Chains A and B, each alone.
Chain A
Amino acid sequence: DVKVTQSSRYLVKRTGEKVFLECVQDMDHENMFWYRQDPGLGLRLIYFSYDVKMKEKGDIPEGYSVSREKKERFSLILESASTNQTSMYLCASSLPRYTEAFFGQGTRLTVV
């Protein structure tokens, strides 16, 4: 069974902290994605990666960075967490071109 695993279901962090969200997939997928989901705004793409060490900005990259040192792992980094980054974060992976994305279970992050 294919799997995308996010390291935490729930996180509470303080304003100004550096936060790491980890995502691992076991499907040997080239493409990996980070989205955030907020009520009324749907899914918004933060960053994606199409290969190891390759990354591209999505629609809302400000305040975030990513790391992909190994094919199976894609990390989202909040350099200095702020309250407006409180959200549900979803990681996904896919093969290149026209195939479906597989999602992790999500991480609900609260920044206080």
Chain B
Amino acid sequence: GNSVTQMEGPVTLSEEAFLTINCTYTATGYPSLFWYVQYPGEGLQLLLKATKADDKGSNKGFEATYRKETTSFHLEKGSVQVSDSAVYFCALSEGAGNFNKFYFGSGTKLNVKP
């Protein structure tokens, strides 16, 4: 079956540090991959996506590359800011007939200290 595994948090970094949040997936077909971000008390917002192997998604300084050979989609940012403190979810979607099915990782909380 399909699943997403991401590193457990919390991850605590100082401002301007390099960020990596690991994500690996298991899928029966050819999924699309996503990173979502959730700020306290809010819903999930799409951060970036990649729809096929070797695609790189990027947004707001965050990047992730769809690696089929290692079934991974690690999130990176070169220099984090305090405002990046949030919970990050890795997810995949795979079409099944008339609908998408989404599979989410458990979330990784990021704390960035000034």
Contacts and interface: CB of A to CB of B under 8 A. Distances in A.
A31 B99 contact: yes
If over half of B's interface residues share one DSSP class (helix, strand or loop), that class is named, otherwise mixed; here it is strand
A50 B101 CA distance: 10
A60 B41 CA distance: 22
Interface stretch (B18-26, B63-71, B74-82, B89-97): B89-97
Interface residues of B, number: 26
Interface in B88-110: 89, 91, 93-95, 97-100, 102, 104-107
Query: Binding site of A, secondary structure by majority: helix, strand, loop or mixed?
Result: strand
Contact of A42 (B45, B93, B100, B105): B105
Interface of A: 4, 6, 30-31, 33, 40-43, 45, 48, 50-51, 56, 90, 92, 94-106, 108
